Amino acid sequence: MKRLLLLVAALLFAGLAAADGGFTVVRVDLRTERLELFLRDDAGVPFKRFDRLDAWLKEHHRQLEFAVNAGMYHEDFSPVGLLVRDGREEAPLNLADGAGNFFLKPNGVFLVSDAGPRVVESSEYPALARRVRLATQSGPLLLRHGVVHPAFIPHSDSRKIRNGVGVIGHTAIFVISEKPVNFYEFALYFRDVLHCRDALYLDGTVSALHSAALHRSDFVRELGPMLGIASP
């Protein structure tokens, strides 16, 4: 019975909606779970992989339960945009223009404060910054107030495995596609299936998921920042 209860608890945590149109969904209720951002170990070396992060956590008597890549990064694995961990800004907000998905405006910030999780357009972030515990910037926004990003093309043939995050109330909803999709299809999944009004693209080619409940730990390529939950 105890093993069964543990399994049920794990499935509830994972928020299983895998195989729903080729997407895996993990729902994290921020009232009961604590999200963290991970990038480097105690010596300042980037983790780069879920297994290295998990090994470091175990040295600290913790275990990685869930993790995803958390936005775009430079060749040295530092974030392209804003990174806030434990209320401390470690990389500044990036409102510059440039080439690539990150700079496909509007881009956005996923944040967690005492009020819960939010996805906001990047220029809205400074007004919220004082109370933020965790934040990561990426782009483009998939949805803003229920509206699909204006640059997305419905029948685009640019298809990749993609991941992103949406928000409903106190719940952060992480999604990774299990087959290549374009931006428009990905945004519609958040809007029409998950009923999110705001959602942020995290990345494409590097998209990866770690879930102890699903017995899954992806390795596609080395990662920069990672969002995760570790126990206890």
**DSSP string across 110-175:** EEEETTEEEEEEGGGGGGGGGGEEEEEEES-EEEETTEEPTT--TT----B--EEEEEETTEEEEE
Q: What amino acid occupies position 217?
A: S
* pLDDT in the model for residue 179: 96
- In tens digits, the chain (232 residues) has pLDDT values of 333 223 333 333 444 434 456 999 999 999 999 999 999 999 999 999 999 999 999 999 999 999 999 999 999 999 999 999 999 999 999 999 999 999 999 999 999 999 999 999 999 999 999 999 999 999 999 999 999 999 999 999 999 999 999 999 999 999 999 999 999 999 999 999 999 999 999 999 999 999 999 999 999 999 999 999 999 9
Q: How far apart are CA 122 and CA 110, in angstroms?
A: 9
The whole model's pTM is what?
0.91
In the chain, domain spans: 2-231
DSSP state of 195: -
Strand partners, 217: 210
Question: Using CA of residue 14, residue 221, residue 137, residue 139, what is the dihedral sign?
Answer: negative
The alpha carbon dihedral of 162, 47, 35, 149 has a sign of negative
Torsion sign (Cα): 197, 202, 205, 207:
negative
d(Cα 64, Cα 169) in Å, to the nearest integer?
25
SS3 52: helix
Residues 6 or more apart from 232 whose CB is under 8 A from it? 61, 62
User: What pLDDT was estimated at residue 21?
Assistant: 62
Task: Write down the pLDDT at residue 213.
Answer: 94
Of 220, 153, 147, whose CA–CA distance to 182 is shortest? 153
- Decide: helix, strand or coil at residue 116: strand
> Would you state the pLDDT for residue 139?
98
Separation CA 127–CA 173 (nearest Å) = 24
d(CA 136, CA 112): 9
Amino acid letter at 205? T
Q: Is-contact 189 14, C-beta < 8 A?
A: no
